[in-house]
Structure formats: C-alpha cells, structure tokens
Amino acid sequence: MIDLKQLQKNFSLFEKKLKTKNVKSSLLEELSKLFGELKLAKQNFEEAQAIQNQKSKLVGQYMKDKKDVTAIKEEIAKNKVKLVTLQNKMREADELLNKLALGIPNLPDDNVPIGDDESHNILIKEVLERPSFNFKPREHWELSEDNGWIDFERGVKLAKSRFSVLSGVAAKLERALISYMLDFNTKHGFKEVSVPLLVNSDTMQGTGQLPKFEDDLFKIEDENLYLIPTAEVPLTNLFRDEILKYSDLPIKLTASTACFRKEAGSGGRDVRGLIRQHQFQKVELVAISTPEKSDEIFEQMVTCASDLLTSLKLPHRIMQLCTGDLGFSAAKTVDLEVWLPGQDCYREISSISNTRDFQARRAKIRFKDGKKNNMVHTLNGSSLAVGRTLLAIMENNQQEDGTIKIPDVLKGYLD
C-alpha cells in the first residue's frame, strides 16, 4: 500500500509517477476528492471537539461562581451528539480512502524507464549463445507427441482447458527440476520452506492480490480461503503483523509449490502448450530486508535466477521492465526471458521484483531499529517457472530424430 501521508504531502509527484503505470486519471481524481473530504471531516470534528472542551471547562467555572449551568449543559449534550456524527463521518471518509488506496499500485522507482508496455522494456544483457540446428526446430507440444511426455487432451478431460498431465520422463524431469532448483537456491543462501497452498483473504491482501485481482484467483466456496497464485503470497505473509529484529534481517526464503491462476485477463493468449496454465509448478525466491540492503539483495536474486538458467545451459536475456509493464506491487522489476527455438522467440521464465515497503505496509511487517519501528522491504522472484523450464529444455535440447537430451546437472536427480 502506498504511504497515504506522503501521497497527501506530495500529491502532484505521486500523480505523475502513478500515471506512468497507466493509472487512470479518474481514479486519482477520486483519491484527491477523498483526501479533501477526510481533511474537512477532521477539521469539523476538531473544531467541535475544541468547543466541547471549552464548554466543559466553563461548567466547572460556572459551578465555582455559583452560576446556573442548565443551559450550558444542554449545549454540551447537543454538541456531544454532533461530535458522534462528525466522528462517524470522519471514520467513513477514512475507510473509503483506505479502501480506494488498496487498489492503487506501487510507485515505480526513479530509475525505472518510462514506457507504456513491454515494447518499451530495455535489454540489459544476453546470456549464452542460442543453439543452432541443421533442421527446423519444433515446438514443445510437437516434441511431446513424439516422446509421450505431456498429455493435453487428458488434462482437459480431468479438469478443463489449460490443464495438462505429465508422464514418464517428463514427470520425473519436473520432479528433478524442482529438487535441483531448491538445492541450487539453498546453496545461494535461501532457506527452504514448505507452505500451505490455501491462504485466507488477509494473506492475499497483504501481498496485493486482493482486492484488485480477485477475478484471477480460485476461491474455495463457503470458505475464506483461496488457492495461491504464487508462493510469494504465503512466504511474504509468514511475517504479517510482526516486528522483526534488525539482527535477523535479511531473511531469504525459497519454496516449491503448485500455483493456481484463472488467467482471467489473458484474452486467449498462449492457449497451446505449457506457457499459460491454470495450474503449474514454480520455485519461488522471497526476501525480507532492511531498506538499505534491498537493492543489493535484488541483484543477488537476479544473479541467482540467471546462474540457474546458465547451469541448465539455457540461453536467456535479462530485461529491465518499463513503468507501464510493472506489476501492481512492484517498484522495480527485471524479467529473465528464456530462448525458445521452436517458437523462435524469448519468453518470460522469471520475474524478480523489489516492492520496497508497499507490501510491508499492507501486511504490517516491520523491524525494530533501536527504539524505532520501520517498514521492511520485501522482494520476490521466480526461480523458475518449472513448466516453462521443462519446455525450454525440450526445445533447446531437441535432436533431429525428435529425442531430447537431458542437461548434465539433472542426470543425478533422475537416477
């Protein structure tokens, strides 16, 4: 959640930055209107409170001077009723402001390039050379038919479209990838954690999924529980409503979970293959940091994900996202895009974000520095989307006869 006090002090600056994230002017105008209403409600309440205090003091003075206090007590009683009404108006204005603020995205960092969409993202660097083939490389769903790895039709039969079934080597390879990624991350200082796949609405609100993205979540009927869209949600909220010790920071965590997304806004994109599924496996990185360390940890997380791809010998590039392509909670994001020769393009496989204190303010995650409590910074990133890693291995390691070579680092996990 954005800092409402700072927003009120620097509204024009915040407005300018939020517009670069494609926030509608009407929403900002409504926010400004609510600030005005709250300010007026507070002013009216404080004025009535001052009058009440003044008249209450006069009662004592009147009694001391043996004056009739009947009239002034009636005035105090009437003003008390007015105070209750004004206090309710102030509370209502404050609640409306906070409700609206929950739908306002995080401010982009000053060094994030300004742009409307992914076409304005900036290439940081390319890692590893793309493979060359003496035949036309095929896409992973074609390779799957030859090898019997992924059954899309039975996934639809069991559930609906955008579900799939892995079998044989593919199922083993998925398990191997998860184990390898977790081992890789723990060697880089991330503690492995196993978390629930179902979380409550407070948890979803803490990381920014609610209320804005409720349509993209799978909710359990008649329960205050949702299937997680990413392990970032439970991992970050482990510390909701807590005050951490300065000496315990940074906290670096990794977890493997199934993830569930309705993909309500995908508009029919990537309907074939494993790119955009309703259920998929992902290994996640999350960090809780002091503000002064968060940029350093951000770079560590980007390096960790890139080195992981490199160890699998998967060519990829690192992209700096522009303001218009940033996620709701992100102040800064770097995407890692893996090369898919069958599709002849790069596709996102990891997204590393620094949310600064945006999620911490929503989830009330603080740390004690001396006698003062401060908001932590939270960071998250994919390491990696397992299904997309699997298809990248398939397309980059395909042979002319349709067979697929297994990366050397995974062979020990398949024995």
Q: Which among 130, 240, 276, 347 is annotated as catalytic?
A: 276
Q: Quick one: CA dihedral 152, 154, 159, 165, positive or negative?
A: negative
The dihedral sign for the CA sequence 188, 190, 194, 198: negative
Catalytic residue among 138, 162, 261, 362: 261
Provide the 8-state DSSP code for 246: G
Q: What token pair was written down for 102?
A: 């929950």
Active site annotation includes 276? yes
| CB-side neighbour CA atoms (13 Å) of 293 | 17
Sequential DSSP letters for 349-393 = EEEEEE-TTHHHHHHTEEEEETTEEEE-EEEEEEEEEHHHHHHHH
- Which one of 138, 162, 362, 388 is the catalytic residue? 388
Active site residue 347: no
- Where are the alpha helices (H) located in 213-293, listed in sequence order? 232-237
Residue 354's DSSP bridge partners are: 332, 379
**154 assigned to active site:** no
Q: Give the separation between CA 60 and CA 297, rounded to whole angstroms.
A: 62
Smallest CA-to-CA distance from 144 within 391, 399, 411 is with 391
351 is catalytic: yes
- Calculate the CA dihedral of residues 211, 213, 219, 222 and round it to 10 degrees: 30
Q: How far apart are the first and last CA of the chain?
A: 47
Classify each residue of 96-128 as buried b or exposed e, where b means 16 or more C-beta atoms within 10 Å of its C-beta: ebeeebebbbbbbbeebeebeeeeebeeeeebb
- Cα–Cα distance, 106 to 18 (Å, whole number): 8
Q: Is the N-terminal amide bond of 137 cis, ω within 30° of 0?
A: no
Q: Of the listed 256, 289, 329, 351, which one is catalytic?
A: 351
Overall residue count recorded for the chain in this entry: 415
Q: Is 144 exposed, middle or buried (0-12, 13-18, 19+ CB in 10 A)?
A: buried
Residues carrying an active site annotation:
261, 276, 348, 351, 388
